[in-house]
Amino acid sequence: MSLQQALFYAEGLRFSCTRCSTCCRYESGYVFLTEHDTTRLLESLQIAHTGFVETYCRWVPDKWGTEQLTLKEKSNYDCIFWKNGCSVYEARPLQCRTFPFWHSIMVSAKAWDAAARDCPGMGKGTLHLLEEIMAYLEQQDAENLVTRISNREVM
3-state secondary structure of 97: helix
Which residues touch 136 (CB under 8 Å, ≥6 apart)? 98, 101
Phi, psi of 3 (to 5 degrees): -60, -45
Would you give per-residue pLDDT tens digits along the chain (155 residues)?
445 447 899 999 999 999 888 889 888 889 999 999 999 999 999 999 999 999 999 999 988 889 999 999 999 999 999 999 999 999 999 999 999 999 999 999 999 999 999 999 999 999 999 999 999 999 999 999 999 997 654 43
Structural domain that includes position 68? 3-18+29-149
Q: What is the pTM of this model?
A: 0.86
Query: What's the domain count of the chain?
Result: 1
Is residue 155 situated within a structural domain? no
Q: Does some domain include residue 72?
A: yes
79 in a domain, yes or no? yes
Cβ neighbourhood burial of 71 (10 Å; 0-12, 13-18, 19+):
buried
Residue 116: inside a domain: yes
